[in-house]
Amino acid sequence: MQIIQHYPLKRLNTFGLNAFAERFCEVKSVEELAAAALPPPGSLHILGGGSNILLTADLPGLVIKNNIGGINIFEEDDDSAIVAAGGGVGWHELVLWSLHKNLGGLENLSLIPGSVGAAPIQNIGAYGVELKDVFHQLDAFELATGNMVSFDAQSCRFGYRDSVFKNECSGKYCITKVFLKLSKHHQLRLEYGDIRRTLEEMNIADPTIQDVSKAVIHIRQSKLPDPEAIGNAGSFFKNPEIMEGQLLDLQKKFPGMVHYPTPTGTWKIPAGWLIEQAGWKGKRFGDAGCHTRQALVLVNYGNARGAEILDLARRIQESVVAMFGIHLSPEVNIWGTEGVKMP
Ligand SMILES: Cc1cc2nc3c(=O)[nH]c(=O)nc-3n(C[C@H](O)[C@H](O)[C@H](O)COP(=O)(O)OP(=O)(O)OC[C@H]3O[C@@H](n4cnc5c(N)ncnc54)[C@H](O)[C@@H]3O)c2cc1C
């Protein structure tokens, strides 16, 4: 394990933003992680695939890229298997591994960029499934003490794009291993988005988990901009939830307002719809922009600075508040200038 000074992060974040880490290293084991992180070096960032960060400036201190690998079946019975994967394993690599073993539960989460270790941070989700639906347990290295700690599902306090690691445990742990409970008798989730229609178009009447994964990959590739082609971090904002009274008031002014019920009795409004209504879709300022087909995705057309994308995000936030009285919270983690926070 080698610590490198003034390391370029451009290739390590999917926005393709140009920023440097004061110091940088890659770790392949808990022992290497301990050697790099202890004693705590002051400012410390744990980096996975860099697909959910916005770099607004060079980073002081140390950036540790988690490359802890390994996937194996930890235990199993006739119905299910507990699969353990290192935090540095690519998320989609784990999905493909599970499909190869005919273990179900991850097929709807196919092709989400990033690492296994980051998946619990925001409880990744897509096409009606969230990480919490298959989560069993995780192992984490406590950065202040070097102790290894286990978190079960309850202590992770998963919510919509949220967990304890985005709140009181933010920046305190490096997730080194994740354990997922995958099924041997599959229950397909086809009702969300275009999955069923895509399977029909593929002439598949009796789909397997592998077919569902293929359908999800097909839909994602047709809808989401590929970060290899145009820098982005997926959805920039979370979909806001509002109370019924506010929805009824807003519907008087905006009868076409798209809304979905949540299990807690609130209503979810697609952030992309709000941003589009506020007139931002396809807008471009220099190399920072709002994607032409997906208003929820902010993009770097080439040489945008993180601060320009942050400025655009703030202007979008303000105009959505002005138009609808709804606050958009960022899904993306903002790194850089100390104190840069986006409520
Ligand atoms: C095109 C595109 C599509 C996307 N689609 C989806 C989607 O459908 N659903 C969805 O939920 N997300 C989606 N995302 C967001 C992103 O893929 C996920 O949030 C992913 O889990 C981020 O993983 P990462 O390894 O890249 O994390 P990074 O961007 O490297 O880090 C994100 C945060 O997690 C922390 N972190 C990373 N690894 C660890 C670790 N081992 N221990 C502790 N903290 C850690 C970092 O410090 C940072 O705060 C998309 C992104 C892109 C670019």
Strand partners, 183: 80, 104
Domains of the chain from N-terminus onward: 4-66 (3.30.43.10), 71-223 (3.30.465.10), 231-335 (3.90.78.10)
Instruction: Provide the pLDDT confidence category of residue 340 given band limits of 50, 70 and 90.
Output: low
Instruction: Note the pLDDT of residue 338.
Output: 52
Q: Whose CA is nearest to atom 43 of ligand 1?
A: 174
pLDDT at 149 over 90: yes
Instruction: Note the pLDDT of residue 193.
Output: 80
pLDDT at 142 over 60: yes
Q: Please tell me the distance between residue 333's alpha carbon and the centre of ligand 1 in angstroms.
A: 9
User: Tens digits of per-residue pLDDT, 257-303?
Assistant: 999 999 889 999 999 999 999 999 999 999 999 999 999 999 999 99
Token code pair at residue 228: 């290899």
Residue carrying the six token digits 């194996």: 72
Catalytically annotated residue among 107, 163, 235, 305? 235
How many CB atoms sit inside 10 A of residue 179's CB? 18
- Helix H, strand E, coil C: the string for the chain is CCCEEEEECHHHCCCCCCCEEEEEEEECCHHHHHHHHCCCCCCEEEECCCCCEEECCCEEEEEEEECCCCEEEEEECCCEEEEEEECCCEHHHHHHHHHHCCCECCHHHCCCCCECCCCCCCCCEECCEEHHHCEEEEEEEECCCCCEEEEEHHHHCCECCECHHHCCCCCCEEEEEEEEEEECCCCCCCCCCCHHHHHHHCCCCCCCHHHHHHHHHHHHHHHCCCCCCCEEEEECECCCEECHHHHHHHHHHCCCCCCEECCCCCEECCHHHHHHHCCCCCCEECCEEECCCCCCEEEECCCCCHHHHHHHHHHHHHHHHHHHCCCCCECCEEECCCCCCCC
Q: Please tell me the distance between residue 51's alpha carbon and the centre of ligand 1 in angstroms.
A: 5
- Average pLDDT on 32-42 reads 88
> 31-45, 85-99, 123-137: which range is least confident on average?
31-45
Q: Whose CA is nearest to atom 4 of ligand 1?
A: 234
Instruction: Provide the pLDDT confidence category of residue 40 given band limits of 50, 70 and 90.
Output: confident
Percentage of the chain with pLDDT > 90? 94
In short, whether 50's Cβ falls inside 6 Å of ligand 1 is: yes
119 CA: nearest ligand 1 atom = 21
In short, whether 208's Cβ falls inside 6 Å of ligand 1 is: no
In short, whether 105's Cβ falls inside 6 Å of ligand 1 is: no
Q: Please tell me the distance between residue 91's alpha carbon and the centre of ligand 1 in angstroms.
A: 9
In short, whether 173's Cβ falls inside 6 Å of ligand 1 is: yes
In short, whether 112's Cβ falls inside 6 Å of ligand 1 is: yes
pLDDT at 339 over 60: no
Q: Which residue has the higher pLDDT, 194 or 343?
A: 194
Percentage of the chain with pLDDT > 70? 98
Is 235 an annotated catalytic residue?
Answer: yes
In short, whether 46's Cβ falls inside 6 Å of ligand 1 is: yes
Q: Please tell me the distance between residue 78's alpha carbon and the centre of ligand 1 in angstroms.
A: 33
In short, whether 49's Cβ falls inside 6 Å of ligand 1 is: yes
Q: Can you tell me the distance from the alpha carbon of 337 to that of 19, in angstroms, rounded to the nearest whole number?
A: 11
Mean pLDDT of the chain: 95
Instruction: Note the pLDDT of residue 110.
Output: 98
Instruction: Note the pLDDT of residue 323.
Output: 97
Q: Which residue has the higher pLDDT, 182 or 192?
A: 182
In short, whether 113's Cβ falls inside 6 Å of ligand 1 is: yes
- Average pLDDT on 95-119 reads 98
Catalytically annotated residue among 80, 107, 161, 163? 161
Q: Please tell me the distance between residue 332's alpha carbon and the centre of ligand 1 in angstroms.
A: 8
Total residues belonging to the chain = 343
- Average pLDDT on 31-40 reads 91
User: Tens digits of per-residue pLDDT, 46-95?
Assistant: 999 999 999 999 999 999 999 999 999 999 999 999 999 999 999 999 99
- Average pLDDT on 189-209 reads 94
- Average pLDDT on 299-308 reads 96
| Residue whose CB lies within 8 A of the most ligand 1 atoms, among 112, 163, 192, for a mutation test | 112
